[in-house]
Structure 1
Amino acid sequence: MNDLGTPVLDDHLHLDPDHGRGLEAVKDFARSGGTHLLVVNKPSWLLGVEAESGDDFRTVFDTTVDVVERANDILRGRAWPVLGVHPGLVSKLVDDRDFSPAGARDLMQAGLEVAAEYVADGKAVALKSGRPHYDVTDEVWSASNAVLRRALELGAETGCAVQLHTEATDDLTEVGEWAESVGLPSEHVVKHYAGGELAGVTPSVMSDKDRLERAVERGEPFLMETDFIDDPDRPGAVMGPKTVPRRVSWMQEQGYDEAIRTAHVSTPELVYGLDTEATLSD
């Protein structure tokens, strides 16, 4: 294995042990120097779950918890589950299953409430929510924001971070204010698939060199991710599991040692309360 001499965390990727590469992707990550993972459950419909109630999401969450346990046998560090309801579900419910926006909101909030149980029980470290990154009706947008705000409330109640999938933007100040208003520190809110600059919440930066250079220059807390989707039907989509370790190696060559520590040690501690150094084995 390639030892980069530092914890190396991918803040957001998916693992599908039944349909995708699963643990083989974890092995690729580890061989490349990766040590820690935050594994986000795949969207429920991609795992064949057509939820009718909050409890129906348990199958989705249990799949992620199980694969994380097995990933821990491979990693020099460890993995943690991030559980929640993908914001794109609102369109699946409204457009394909004839839910009203309010009905979709209620089901998605119920799913998040179940995910929060896993966090409270120590089975997951954070929640995942957000709002559509594509155009929707005003009613669906309002319902989606209600779901997002419930996720922030649940994060405050359980004392955990919330990862968000949102529209492309470099300013989520309003969302950060929503979080603060319910008692969730805005730095505990993470925008996944972020660029190198972001106001309002913590960016989880997609690990291409241009975005990372902007994050380094900004000098603020940030995380690094691939959003690896583990879908055999879309093998070239987003970034592969080797990407974050390879980018850390490149950052070392550029002399970005302080930024590496920010992304892989201090920001995971700040956002999630995770100690990536103490959880690293020889």
Structure 2
Amino acid sequence: MEPILDDHMHLDPDHGQGVEAVKDFSRAGGTHLLVVNKPSWHLGDLPDAGADFESVFETTLGAVAEATDVLDGCAWPILGVHPGLISQLTDAGHTPEEAGEIMRAGLDRAGEYVASGAALGLKSGRPHYEVSEAVWKASNAVLKHALSLGADHECAVQLHTEGSEDLTEIAEWAEERGLPAHRVVKHYANGRLKGPTPSVICQRDELRRAAESNAPFMMETDFIDDPDRPGAVLGPKTVPRRVTWLREEGYEGAIRTAHVETPEEVYGIDTVSTLDE
């Protein structure tokens, strides 16, 4: 057996498939997961303070524990604040600055989980849709705060951002704050990316580009575990199936890059020794 990691999956044990999705992933050959908390507004009321994020974080930790029981490898949690929350908060009457303050408080709370060893890394970003200049400025302040926390806690930071193949500016912000650029991960990335490490969405064309680039990358489904959108974004079996496809296409080295070498470089995790633990 070889490690097969999905770098970005959501699990919703209360409303979605939860551990059943993990069983599908495992039966298809998947061994390791990074489970990212769902956006906080999907699982409760809008937050007003850092403590209001705890319920979604605890739900994620519970889902990770269940997933690890099922997997031949294990799962790790990535905790943080979805950048789209700023629009939810401003629509509810907060100023962009107030919304940013609430989001930074949520990230601070996520950082405490990382510091205690309960979480592996942080999640942040900025809107991938058009927003006002004030919201964009506040969002970038939140993102920079997440990068600072990543440096403080010596952990990786996954980012949800606009689609781009050049995010060197964000990589530079990370380096300025003491976080190595390779420990910044662009979730839902294309097969080529300047700056952060790409977590490539498992579309064949993009995976081929990543495999042929000879650069570090990981693979993800961004499975959202929403009963109203079954299989979105990609189903939980997709990463193992794409690994099989990569092998058939002759990209054996890229498989090791995505599932062993890059996860170790970015997160400090050993997907080989954690098999069958």
Instruction: Give the structure-1-normalised TM-score.
Output: 0.97
Q: Is 1:35 the equivalent of 2:27?
A: no
The one-character-per-residue Cα deviations of 1:99-136 (angstroms, maximum 9, x if unpaired) are 00000000000000000000000000010000000000
Distance 1:256 1:6 in 2: 15
- 1:242-261 matches, within 5 Å, as 242-261=237-256
1:181 maps to a residue whose letter is E
Counterpart of 2:186? 191
- 1:64-213 matches, within 5 Å, as 64-95=60-91, 97-213=92-208
Pick the aligned partner of 1:274 from 256, 260, 269: 269
What is the aligned-residue RMSD (CA, Å)?
A: 0.7
Distance 1:32 1:216 in 2: 21
Distance 1:31 1:236 in 2: 16
2:56 maps to a residue whose letter is V
After TM superposition, give the deviation of residue 231 of structure 1 in Å. Answer: 0.1
Q: Is 1:19 the equivalent of 2:15?
A: yes
Q: Which runs of 4+ in 1 moved over 2 A?
A: none
- Which residues of structure 2 form unaligned runs of 5+? none
Q: Is 1:230 the equivalent of 2:225?
A: yes
Identity %: 65
Pick the aligned partner of 2:48 from 49, 52, 71: 52
The one-character-per-residue Cα deviations of 1:61-101 (angstroms, maximum 9, x if unpaired) are 00000110111110000000000000000000001x10000
Distance 1:59 1:87 in 2: 18
Partner SS, residue 60 of structure 1: helix
The one-character-per-residue Cα deviations of 1:202-255 (angstroms, maximum 9, x if unpaired) are 000001100000001111000000000000001142100000000001111111
Instruction: Give the structure-2-normalised TM-score.
Output: 0.99
Distance 2:155 2:231 in 1: 32
Does the 8 Å contact 2:225/2:231 carry over to 1?
A: no
Does the 8 Å contact 1:49/1:60 carry over to 2?
A: no
Distance 1:211 1:133 in 2: 19
